[in-house]
Structure 1
Amino acid sequence: MEDSTTSEEDLEALIEGLDYIPGHFHLPLHLNGESQGPADLRRRDTHLRRESLRVQLEAETGPLQYAVRNLLGLLDFHLDRLSEAEEAFRAVVREEPDNLNAWANLGYVYDRLGREMDAGECVERVSALMGLTGDGAGTGSGRSAARCLAEQAYTHPWDVELHEDEVLRERLTAALTLYNRALDYGADVIPTEEKRSWYFNMATIYIRLDGMIRNNEDAEYSRPPLYNKGLKLLTEVLESDNVRLKALAWCYVGVMLERKDEFSTVPMAVHDCGYSSSEPLSCYGLAIKFAADDALILNQLAGIFLKLGKHDMATGISNMALNVLPDPELNWQAYCNRAKINVTAYVRNLERAKKGHAGIPDRQSLREAKGDLERVLSVRPCLRTHLEMAQVHYYMGVDAVQESLLVDEGAVNSALVCLSRALQCPPGESLPELHLLRGRCLLLKGEESNAVDCFLRSLELQRPGAADPAALRFLLGALLVCCCQGPDSDSAICRLEECVHHAEKTYSLTVVREELRALCRAHVAEVTELSKTLVIRGRTKLVRHLLDSLQPRGKTPLIRSFSV
């Protein structure tokens, strides 16, 4: 017993004396801790991270690919796929025998599996690589340490439950700290090209941090350091021989030059790096020029422009990618990008038409999106593609301006079929947007009770502090119909009360109040009859909510003068 205690104390003392600890399972990530909400939401986020990383792995060919693969192993572990996690880490050490993180991670998996001897061998290998065995091993520890820290830095922005800006900022800052430490360790032993891949990742983090504080009161003072560091790192990346890095770096330089007009004084890095006379469009042009013959890079550029809202440029680049590689099995991403651009453009024009700012949107974009998605589904059926196809069918089935009007029941039925297939793909069951769209389709078909179940499920899957109240809006409307017209009004009233109670835990009180006000104003007669029924039955809490939503702030509540 004493020997065991002494051994544990020696191990703790050894760990405390280390400058860094290999592996991912000790990192201060939400992934490695208890879930902050329902377990199925954590699992959903982890699964979605894994799917995104698998796409990212296709683009990483240098040493940084091991950062992606170690992270994939970590995600597999937390999805209870221990055999896949073990294989991920074993594959890394087979190709990169000096990879500290992979050996440490593999040892952790073996320990969980109860394979103590294998776990011990992994610990010994880590000790040898770090030069802790005293037998002369670990001569390459500077290079191994630098790569170890860079891989850990790569992991932080991919953590789950980063919906709060402060938490995301902490993860991004932690990643920068680890990258800087990696650069210190690898100053003389890491090839310049490899360090430039780290510079690129650091630059994108600085861009994200800059974007997060653009509207802060102190932005004029807090943004320049982030902006300057990011632009200088991108300039260093432009010297790379890696065509992908060079193309993406030019694209982000264009993004930064667009942002320079947001400052009262042009950030000094613009002049230091020689961009005083450069225009964003010329930078975008250079990015496209370097990527012209590579479909993978073109797809990445299209994705960036899509996020920036530059739909015409994203469409043009997607078309270039398809000219280079038209095979949907090899270039499915280009078809998905083009379909997403078309659907996004249609929805944007639809919203403008509803406000009277534009005419009826052209459904040709929906037909083109449908064709692209059919090509992808024929070779790579997956959750996102089924969901996007369902969205296309939904908009084909409703009126071009009034979505509450059904114009093509066959298209809506096709949307429901696509959604049923999406539900069979993990983690489709836990996607709130899937249940929301399913409920909207059922509502069009007059199946209010089924629609309520879908809307309620969507609401339950929202995280606290959610910004989009669409699930609440449709749920309130469908429940109101059930309360006034359904055969089981008592049950509907109970569900409506539960809905409001749950919404107050998910959204801010202001959001709930606005949605209740919109419900009252859009359905005056129905809400009036419901309120009378509730008062007669002595269930006045919901009536208070409804009346309070109509009362201007600071005024005497209407409920005080309300009587039967």
Structure 2
Amino acid sequence: MEETEVDIDVLIDEMDYIPGHFHLDMNLNFESTSPLNFQGRDVKLKRESLIYELESETGTQQYAIRNLLGVFSFYLEEVEKAKEIFLQILQEDPENLNAWANLAYVYDRLNDEHEAAKCTENLSHLMGLDSDDEAQGNPQLRASRCLAEQGYAYAFDIGLASEEEKMEKLTAGLALYDKALAYGKQAIEIAKDSPPVLNRLSKIFHFLGKQEMAMAVCNMALDVLPNPVLNWQAYCMHAKMLIKLYLRDLERVKMGLGGMPDQKNLFDAKTDLEKVMKVHPCLKTYLSLGQVYYYMGVDAIQELFLVDENALNSALMFFAKAMEFDLGNVLPEIQLLRGKCLRLKNEERNAIECFKEAIELDGVASVHTESFRCLMEMLLTLFSQKKINTEMLMKEVEVWVKKAEKKYPKQRVQQELRLVCRHYTAEVLELSKAMVTRGKTELVKLLFETMKCDFKKGRMNERSLSF
């Protein structure tokens, strides 16, 4: 007797929702414009974060993580490992709709039509789509879990270059959570007593910019389970929010919109992270601690003066420990912060190399252009101190401006050059004159336009550049 095969297109048309992760509107599922090495790096970083998340999960929520781990393995060309992950989920949780759909996708890619059809048939039965056979159990609850797992996945998408993209993906994830609640009715009820659920809600509120709500939910998670061994994620999230609050206030000060940022946020973040360090040392914890110690050791306003050398040395030590991890050497933020520490310690040449490395590691279309500005400032500082000559300065500026124009949005490059020209006007003018003499007019024109824009209120005009 022939087995009845289910037509996947017909099945999809009948669905109010579609199980699985490979169809979701995530950057992960589409061709990336980033070089393959950057895309692979991002996937590996996200997979590492998920592995940390999995360590504290024992209930059904672990399957949201494990399904996504299988998807990441698939995109890292570890197809057999992906198949193994989905099969293991189904051994433990045979009603997991996403695992059945994901496994069908993998079998399809492996050209195993027979196994793919079996997966689709099981999926149809569990969803209650069979016309002549009623599904056992509660299809509504299965649908709710399926949608919640998909909503969770959006928080781990890759290639989100801007805040707008992050908001878009998180909003899509929340829409799936809303749909899950409509099916399942009880997600909300269990949240108040479940630290893992509270931690996820806190993370979502944090990314949506609702810091007060995020902090309140995070505090609830810590009240329910204050033990850092069992709930280190909440301490990490709490520290992350405190650091963000400090940096937000710091930006406001620089714009003249408020008083000095509260140092207590840094000290409290340090306390949280030290608790995590004792039970779960990892790349992100070392990076966060290094960041905290950097801001404790530097003048807050301009970041150009050393106020605590011991704190700065501690920052460098934590960055070094972070770089011992597999992915530590590919994070541009580590190189940027290392460079800023070394600049304060007057190790200019080493600082320059860190800023260059950070630029190289940045993804295409990244808006994190601070490394480029720091590099330009360091080169001009060495020039003003007669530590490099005009020829060397010209060569370096020309090379790295071109790299920046290929990597970052044009507006961001112009913005950073404008700041550099404003603070190093004399050096830029001298460099421009030398470049005109050597016929390098294209870069001079860029610098001139930048300066002209900055000084358009009468402080500078074209006659200032009479060579």
TM class by shorter chain equals 0.7 to 0.9
CA contact (8 A) 2:21 2:150 kept: no
Cα distance in 2 for residues equivalent to 1:241 and 1:562 = 67
CA contact (8 A) 1:452 1:478 kept: yes
Corresponding letter in the other structure for 2:452? Q
Corresponding letter in the other structure for 2:71? L
Q: Quick one: which of 148, 154, 160 aligns to 2:158? A: 160
Q: Deviations over 1:214-241 (max 9, x none)?
A: xxxxxxxxxxxxxxxxxxx6xx98x637
Cα distance in 2 for residues equivalent to 1:157 and 1:479 = 39
Map 1:252-331; keep pairs closer than 5 Å.
291=192, 294-300=194-200, 302-303=202-203, 306-307=206-207, 318-319=218-219, 321-331=221-231
Query: Is 1:122 matched up with 2:111?
Result: no
Aligned equivalent of 2:83: 86
Distance 1:90 1:434, change over 3 A: same
TM-score by length of 1: 0.66
Aligned equivalent of 2:414: 513
Aligned equivalent of 2:451: 550
Map 1:405-444; keep pairs closer than 5 Å.
405-444=305-344
Q: Quick one: which of 341, 350, 354 aligns to 2:241? A: 341
Distance 1:489 1:381, change over 3 A: farther
CA deviation after TM superposition for structure 1 residue 328, in Å = 1.4
CA deviation after TM superposition for structure 1 residue 43, in Å = 1.8
Aligned equivalent of 2:68: 71
Q: Secondary structure at the match of 1:446?
A: coil
Cα distance in 2 for residues equivalent to 1:167 and 1:368 = 30
Query: Is 1:240 matched up with 2:186?
Result: yes
Query: Is 1:527 matched up with 2:422?
Result: no
CA deviation after TM superposition for structure 1 residue 67, in Å = 4.5
Cα distance in 2 for residues equivalent to 1:38 and 1:487 = 34
Distance 1:545 1:383, change over 3 A: same
Distance 1:23 1:311, change over 3 A: closer
Q: What's the Cα RMSD here?
A: 4.4
CA contact (8 A) 2:147 2:180 kept: no
CA contact (8 A) 1:455 1:475 kept: yes
CA contact (8 A) 2:290 2:316 kept: yes
Q: Secondary structure at the match of 1:551?
A: helix
CA deviation after TM superposition for structure 1 residue 367, in Å = 2.6
Query: Is 1:19 matched up with 2:12?
Result: yes
Distance 1:541 1:381, change over 3 A: same
CA contact (8 A) 2:358 2:371 kept: yes
Distance 1:126 1:366, change over 3 A: closer
Query: Is 1:466 matched up with 2:459?
Result: no
CA contact (8 A) 1:31 1:160 kept: yes
Cα distance in 2 for residues equivalent to 1:170 and 1:362 = 31
CA deviation after TM superposition for structure 1 residue 385, in Å = 1.0
Q: Quick one: which of 19, 34, 38 aligns to 2:35? A: 38
Q: Deviations over 1:447-475 (max 9, x none)?
A: 22222222223233334443343222212
More moved, 138-147 vs 396-405: 138-147
Q: Secondary structure at the match of 2:307?
A: coil
Q: Deviations over 1:466-495 (max 9, x none)?
A: 334322221221122244433465344222
CA deviation after TM superposition for structure 1 residue 323, in Å = 4.4
Q: Deviations over 1:311-350 (max 9, x none)?
A: 6665565555444433211121232233233323333343
**Identity over aligned residues, as a percent?**
42
CA deviation after TM superposition for structure 1 residue 92, in Å = 1.3
Cα distance in 2 for residues equivalent to 1:166 and 1:511 = 16
CA contact (8 A) 1:399 1:405 kept: yes
CA contact (8 A) 1:547 1:558 kept: no
CA deviation after TM superposition for structure 1 residue 498, in Å = 2.0
CA contact (8 A) 1:328 1:375 kept: yes
CA deviation after TM superposition for structure 1 residue 420, in Å = 1.9
Q: Quick one: which of 493, 500, 505 aligns to 2:401? A: 500
Aligned equivalent of 1:378: 278
Q: Secondary structure at the match of 1:326?
A: coil
Cα distance in 2 for residues equivalent to 1:314 and 1:22 = 29
Cα distance in 1 for residues equivalent to 2:403 and 2:445 = 16
CA contact (8 A) 1:156 1:174 kept: yes
CA contact (8 A) 1:386 1:418 kept: yes
5+ residue gaps, structure 1, are: 1-10, 180-196, 202-232, 246-290
CA deviation after TM superposition for structure 1 residue 295, in Å = 3.9
Cα distance in 1 for residues equivalent to 2:169 and 2:209 = 26
Cα distance in 2 for residues equivalent to 1:168 and 1:332 = 25
Cα distance in 2 for residues equivalent to 1:347 and 1:152 = 32
How many pairs align?
448
CA deviation after TM superposition for structure 1 residue 380, in Å = 0.8
CA contact (8 A) 2:104 2:120 kept: no
Distance 1:452 1:87, change over 3 A: same
Cα distance in 1 for residues equivalent to 2:200 and 2:155 = 18
Cα distance in 1 for residues equivalent to 2:62 and 2:93 = 11
Q: Deviations over 1:109-143 (max 9, x none)?
A: 5787x8x8xx56633532542679xx999764994
Q: Deviations over 1:432-454 (max 9, x none)?
A: 32222121112112222222222
Cα distance in 2 for residues equivalent to 1:390 and 1:462 = 20
CA deviation after TM superposition for structure 1 residue 60, in Å = 9.0
Q: Quick one: which of 365, 369, 389 aligns to 2:289? A: 389
Q: Secondary structure at the match of 1:19?
A: helix
Corresponding letter in the other structure for 2:298? V
Distance 1:98 1:376, change over 3 A: closer
Distance 1:421 1:240, change over 3 A: same
Cα distance in 1 for residues equivalent to 2:213 and 2:19 = 43
Query: Is 1:367 matched up with 2:280?
Result: no
Q: Secondary structure at the match of 2:417?
A: helix
Cα distance in 2 for residues equivalent to 1:390 and 1:167 = 28
Aligned equivalent of 1:199: 179
Map 1:442-461; keep pairs closer than 5 Å.
442-461=342-361
Cα distance in 1 for residues equivalent to 2:149 and 2:281 = 32
Distance 1:242 1:137, change over 3 A: same
CA contact (8 A) 2:144 2:180 kept: no
Cα distance in 1 for residues equivalent to 2:428 and 2:309 = 29
Cα distance in 2 for residues equivalent to 1:559 and 1:328 = 62
Cα distance in 2 for residues equivalent to 1:359 and 1:151 = 42
